[in-house]
Chains A and B, each alone.
Chain A
Amino acid sequence: MTGKETRQLGFHLDIDSCTGCKACQIACKGKNLLPRGLLWRKVVEARGGDWVKRENAWTNNIFAYYISLSCMHCEEAICVEVCPTKASTKNRDGIVYIDPDRCIGCSYCEMACPYGAPRFDEAKNVMTKCDFCRDRVEDGGRPACVDACQMRVLGFGELNEIKEANGPNNEVFPLPNASYTKPSVVLKRVKAKGKSDDDVCIGNEEEL
């Protein structure tokens, strides 16, 4: 890249193959030395289904899937729009980053973000969130979560390229409609999960 060329980096996740092991979550916590109670990447368990009687037999249509979530580094990041001090900014790689020197801890970004990405760090008195391991990425490396994924279901790349390779899907329950902030993520989900989003609920809400 030269001059003022920009690109949009994004994550892609194969939901059908994710086992919910949380290696990504632990790697992120370790790399960024996050204190107790603070997570920049969280694994959401979505589940549904029930036991169903068919004639004289009982069967079940129970299912579960996992979504490894961090900041979506949205194309129309609402946290960048609302931040009064310009602490939350988007760089040339499309990475949304919170500058701790400018953050006043007003939590307006937390109030606005539909993915719950900005989290308050009590020790530092500022808002913090996933920064795409930009120190590693700028050196040609990979984010810690991508490196840690044992199933190789979590990846990253230039958003247009990963959309071409995996399809453009970026909406799966419990994620909101992508039109709100245009998240830079591609989610691969082939298997049908339940008849509608009403059949699904979050299984680890307290953990999140």
Chain B
Amino acid sequence: MRKKDLPLVFFTLLTQAAVGCFTTSFLVYVSQRSAAERASLEGFMGVSTTVTLVLLVSGLLIATRHLRRPSKGYLAIANTVTSWLSREMLLGIGFGLSVLGFAVAHFLNFRSPWVGAVGAILGLGLVYAISRLYMLRTVPSWNNPATPMSFLTTTLLVGTALTSTALRLTAGEVQVPGGLPETLAITALALTGIQALAIRISLRYSRKHRGFPSYNDFQKTFLSRVLLSAVGAVLLWISTTGLLGPSTYALTAMSFFIGAAFLIAGEVLGRFLFFAIYKRVGL
């Protein structure tokens, strides 16, 4: 992996974590049928929105380190006609403003789901733009459907882990809807399976080019990444099912937090792997 790509690893992860956290939290929030049920999740939404904004701002600060002239960064939205980087900047600004608008609206007791919906849609658009940015026709290992697949899955996986954590941390103050933690854990398991496919697909696309990275070059890293995410998802699921037996609060909590940490670590490793398989055609 090129050293100068390190800020991009963290920028993409933090931005996708922000989108995932807000989108999954918002979906949990609007899926409650009654206003009373939604009102009971206010504390949880407050935590999620705050975490989203912190992640987004952190990602932005790291992104400016990648630019060699950040003072001219405002010019980066000049080419939305052809540049996915310009589109990403614009969608990022839109997402950030929507989340901020959602937070302010809730603070002012204006509880319309539409502001959150706009934020979630712009956020998913932002993740799509980030994935298209890397789908350069001169980089075969990135220019295939596995890239948006992987980026979206990372967004939802990290979002699920963060949303589950926010729910757990606010469980004393909010009424956690029945079956929700189990649903989130099963979602994490399914997404891990999809993520395992994505990297294999991308390496298959680059295999036909002479001298390009193959699965064998990254076998150990790939397997470690899949194992981390899978173990994390399983631990998350175990913590929600009561399999550890009654009166095991500490053990359940440990299973949950270690599971969430493993899941996020798997995605971090996966992002390093994504940048490690970069290779251009030609020189």
Interface residues of A (CB under 8 A from B): 44, 69, 78, 80-87, 102-108, 111-116, 120, 125-126, 174-177, 180-181, 197-198, 208
What are 13 A-B interface contacts by the 8 Å CB criterion? A82-B82, A84-B75, A84-B85, A103-B69, A104-B68, A108-B133, A112-B280, A114-B282, A174-B282, A175-B283, A176-B283, A197-B210, A198-B210
A-B contact count (CB 8 A): 101
Residues in B with CB closer than 8 Å to A198 are 210
Residues in B with CB closer than 8 Å to A83 are 79, 83
Interface residues as binary, B253-283 with A (CB distance below 8 Å gives 1, 0 otherwise): 0000000000000000000000000101111
Contact A85 B75 (CB under 8 A): yes
Contact A111 B136 (CB under 8 A): yes
Contact A86 B79 (CB under 8 A): yes
Interface residues on B, range: 20 to 34
Complex formed: what's the CA distance from A181 to B136 in Å?
Answer: 11
Determine which of B69, B210, B281 lies in contact with A104 in the assembled complex, contact meaning CB atoms within 8 Å. Answer: B69
Residues in A with CB closer than 8 Å to B133 are 108
Instruction: Give me 20 other A-B pairs in contact (C-beta within 8 A), A44-B283, A105-B67, A175-B282 excluded.
Output: A69-B283, A82-B83, A84-B75, A84-B76, A84-B86, A86-B79, A102-B72, A107-B4, A107-B66, A111-B136, A111-B278, A114-B281, A115-B283, A125-B68, A126-B68, A174-B282, A176-B283, A180-B137, A180-B138, A198-B210
Complex formed: what's the CA distance from A84 to B67 in Å?
Answer: 12
CB-nearest residue of chain B to A80? B82
Determine which of B69, B89, B136, B139 lies in contact with A84 in the assembled complex, contact meaning CB atoms within 8 Å. Answer: B89
**Provided the pairs A81-B82, A82-B82 are in contact, do residues A104 and B283 lie with their beta carbons within 8 angstroms?**
no
Query: Cβ of B77 < 8 Å from any Cβ of A?
Result: yes
